[in-house]
Structure 1
Amino acid sequence: MLHSDKHGALLVGSGISIPAGYPSVQALTSIVLAGNGAYRDTDECYYINPDRRETCKYVSEATAILKRLKQTIDPSLQQYQYSGRAANYEDLVYVARQLGDFALGEIENPVVGPFLQQVFGAGGPWQATHGHDDSLGSYMRQTENYVRDIVWRCLQKEAERTEHLEVFLAALQDKSVRALAIGTLNHDTHFENYLAHAGVQVWDGFGQNENEVRYWSRTDIALDDKRVPFIKLHGSIDWFEFRPESGTAYYDDRVGVALTNDIQHTRTTDGQLQLPLPGRPLMLVGTFNKYIDYATELFSTVHARWRARLDVSDRLVICGYGFGDRGINAQIIEWVYGSRDRKLLIMNPGIEDLKNRCRGAIRNKWDGWVEDGILETIDSPVQDADSASVSRFLSS
């Protein structure tokens, strides 16, 4: 990998995790809706035990809400460009967040009230007055927590295979290729683990080992640092907020990655017991609420670092991303028009279908970018992609 005066970037989405054996968005949605083996423990977090046969009332409530939401919003999705598309768990979390925020007075949205009536009818625990219904807000928050917990536990596994990542490793090892920064929208950890096992030094934003925990660093690395920036734009299944047992809420909280599987019994730098709050990782879930969460301190820093890397890059490779995140799409568009020297490579099976499924902001610019020589495509699954073509693009 290259001369420090030229930079490139790689952005990957969930499409690169499927060849590794991780469940697709559709598969995760089915698991979430079924609730098989799921239960809520005394820590108010949700777990999965495949051998469990006993019904958990909290899971029953959450899945009932999700199924009702899905039944209501599925027909509306048919009106858009997504032919045959049904609501997935990201859509359901987004809607649940909207309803919960409305009930708790966090948003003012005049369409939510009528929608609530349509979904749940009048009366019962679903009846809501804006900003004054803790019961509805609680139901929706618990439903959202249920989805988050089931999803991250399904992703908490080792990759079954990693050969599909060789195309990226080849680019990182090619001395003619620009210095690369990697941005990923995935919550699982198989890509960074693969790079570590391959001997690639990455910078993920976390510092050195302190009592089996690496803590988030407020300081970024220099552009000429030899490590590869690895930026998880939607968080990760191993990012937790820790609070010392005798700590003060918020003031003493620190974001960290535990180097042990026992996240409930990590210790601070000075040896104090600390707990993960609220027992689930820091990962963004939800179709259109992600870019609201981008404004939080942690994720605003994450995205600022990614934007800084994009700003110095004149080549961007995108793989496994469906262009459904409006915030990420906006970053891509701004990057393209930031300089006439910039070029984009999209690698995906079924390129024409991908173009048609993109949100309008990307879809309506696609053909023009191709005509202007800005956009190149490789119509191939990542595991079958020609590494020479990718490296050639990144060194051009």
Structure 2
Amino acid sequence: MRIAFLFGAGISTPLGVSSTIEITKEVMSGKCITTHTEENVSQYIKLLKLLKIEVENYYSNQNQYEANYEDLYYMASQIRDSKSKEYDNPAIAALYDRINRLIKPILNEKPGDAQINMNLGNLAKETTNYIADIVWHLLKRHKNEVNHLNCLAGAYRDTDISKIDIFTLNHDLMIEAFLDKSGISYIDGFSERTNDVRYWNPNLYDGDDFKINLFKLHGSINWFLCRPNMGSIYDDNACLISGRDPYLLMDIVCDYRPLILIGRFNKMLEYSRWIYSELYCIFHNVLKTAVNIIVSGYSFGDKGINNRLIEWMRSSRQNRLVVIHPKPKDIEDKARPYFANRWDDFVSSHKIVFIKKGIQDTSWLDIQNLPQIRK
């Protein structure tokens, strides 16, 4: 039997990995833990404060909604992509004009002796880079001390399970740390290590030598764009760098920011590009053979993932989600409307079943004992 897990950020926060709230506070603090200068960061923060007002005004009908870094990245990326003509978006023209009027005097300020010469499009681009750098550095600081995925280890030991596909939306290295600590071998889509560098090769997932396949649908803090052996653009590939600072690999690393997806709704655009398109295609194909998907830590807020899950549940009477969460109503309240509006139907028809525990308290036996799973 083949089984799949889908993990979101909620499985990492109990271990001290920075939460969405904590990352947002760090982003808005303006503390320079990145390579950005203090002068530039002050301008990023001023833009972010303006965008924060826009987001919270939009959600004013929701009690005390507070914009997070994903919202702010999404807003800044829309300005960035519209002004660069990457994605034309006439709908934000009024927003751009409004923000530009407020930010233009700030852009003409002279912090210290340096003249910051930047238009709003460039400022939005650098602000998204700033947010990405904060996320990277905060997640990189976590020591990945884990012992709470015992249900996953139990599935690995179950001889009736022939293949386990782990799909995670997390950028951190917590799952890898757990598998390594547990002595569990797995395929993550990257080649054997050469000088601390491993290169992306999705064909590795096709083998049967390992029971576990790990897919990081939103990228990882140790993935970078590389150009091996001083090659050309045709040699560009994703690489996984372990044990070394990417800045020490200047001869192969093309971009010193990791390959991670950030932002509220712009992730869907990235699912059609490069390594993410390959991962999303694999996700699509694995769902064709999966009957049960075990979900934990995911709030059903990613429209691209939600669409695939809904299509999958509708494709067969046998297909169902096993959701591990102590308070399932909390998930329904946070889910995107397209999913939330169908929630009761899915639950009443047993397309969604619950284990009302935290992931750390859930064993593989708890999952096996569900009547729907035994069937």
Per the TM superposition, whether the score is higher than 0.5 is yes
Determine which of 79, 96, 108 is the counterpart of 1:99: 79
- Among all aligned residue pairs of Structure 1 and Structure 2, give the percentage whose two residues are the same amino acid: 32
Determine which of 336, 343, 348 is the counterpart of 1:371: 348
CA pair 275-67 structure 1, distance change in 2 beyond 3 A: farther
Take 2:45 and 2:171, find their aligned partners in 1: how far apart are those partners? 23
Show the counterpart of 2:92: 112
Paired residues in the alignment total 364
Show the counterpart of 1:262: 245
Determine which of 312, 323, 329 is the counterpart of 1:352: 329
Deviation at 1:265, TM superposition (A): 2.8
Take 1:256 and 1:125, find their aligned partners in 2: how far apart are those partners? 42
Take 2:311 and 2:207, find their aligned partners in 1: how far apart are those partners? 21
Give the secondary-structure state (helix, strand or coil) at the position aligned to 2:354: strand
Please identify which structure carries the higher helix content: 2
CA pair 341-224 structure 1, distance change in 2 beyond 3 A: farther
Take 2:188 and 2:150, find their aligned partners in 1: how far apart are those partners? 20
Take 1:235 and 1:304, find their aligned partners in 2: how far apart are those partners? 14
CA pair 209-122 structure 1, distance change in 2 beyond 3 A: closer
Take 1:59 and 1:244, find their aligned partners in 2: how far apart are those partners? 33
- Structure 2 unmatched runs, 5+: 108-116
Structure 1 segment 174-193 matched on structure 2, within 5 A: 174-177=158-161, 179-193=163-177
Structure 1 segment 154-193 matched on structure 2, within 5 A: 154-159=138-143, 161-177=145-161, 179-193=163-177
Deviation at 1:160, TM superposition (A): 5.6
CA pair 324-83 structure 1, distance change in 2 beyond 3 A: farther
CA pair 255-14 structure 1, distance change in 2 beyond 3 A: same
The residue type equivalent to 1:254 in the other structure is N
Show the counterpart of 1:59: 41
Deviation at 1:332, TM superposition (A): 0.7
Q: Deviations over 1:30-56 (max 9, x none)?
A: 00110224353xxxxx4xxxxxxxx71
CA pair 395-176 structure 1, distance change in 2 beyond 3 A: farther
Take 2:66 and 2:192, find their aligned partners in 1: how far apart are those partners? 43
The residue type equivalent to 1:96 in the other structure is A
Show the counterpart of 2:14: 19
Show the counterpart of 2:113: none
- Structure 1 unmatched runs, 5+: 1-5, 41-45, 47-54, 128-132, 267-272
CA pair 392-211 structure 1, distance change in 2 beyond 3 A: same
Give the secondary-structure state (helix, strand or coil) at the position aligned to 1:72: helix
Moved more, 59-68 or 382-391: 382-391
Deviation at 1:395, TM superposition (A): 5.3
Give the secondary-structure state (helix, strand or coil) at the position aligned to 2:253: strand
Q: Deviations over 1:152-197 (max 9, x none)?
A: 1100034464222122212222224463210000000111121022
Show the counterpart of 1:293: 270
CA pair 184-160 structure 1, distance change in 2 beyond 3 A: closer
Q: Deviations over 1:72-128 (max 9, x none)?
A: 21121233xx5433211011111101011111222222221211233342682799x
Structure 1 segment 115-126 matched on structure 2, within 5 A: 115-121=95-101, 124=104
Are the aligned partners of 2:34 and 2:130 in contact in 1 as well (CA < 8 Å)?
A: no
Take 1:183 and 1:324, find their aligned partners in 2: how far apart are those partners? 15
Aligned-CA RMSD value? 2.3
Take 2:199 and 2:90, find their aligned partners in 1: how far apart are those partners? 41
Show the counterpart of 2:362: 385
Take 1:280 and 1:16, find their aligned partners in 2: how far apart are those partners? 24
Give the secondary-structure state (helix, strand or coil) at the position aligned to 2:214: strand
Give the secondary-structure state (helix, strand or coil) at the position aligned to 1:28: helix
Give the secondary-structure state (helix, strand or coil) at the position aligned to 1:182: strand
Q: Is 2:210 aligned against 1:226?
A: yes
CA pair 210-223 structure 1, distance change in 2 beyond 3 A: closer
Take 1:395 and 1:205, find their aligned partners in 2: how far apart are those partners? 31
The residue type equivalent to 2:282 in the other structure is R
CA pair 122-148 structure 1, distance change in 2 beyond 3 A: closer
Show the counterpart of 2:193: 209
Deviation at 1:244, TM superposition (A): 4.9
Please identify which structure carries the higher strand content: 1
Q: What is the TM-score with the length of structure 1 in the denominator?
A: 0.85
Structure 1 segment 59-78 matched on structure 2, within 5 A: 59-78=41-60
Take 1:178 and 1:359, find their aligned partners in 2: how far apart are those partners? 33
Give the secondary-structure state (helix, strand or coil) at the position aligned to 2:136: helix
Deviation at 1:19, TM superposition (A): 1.4
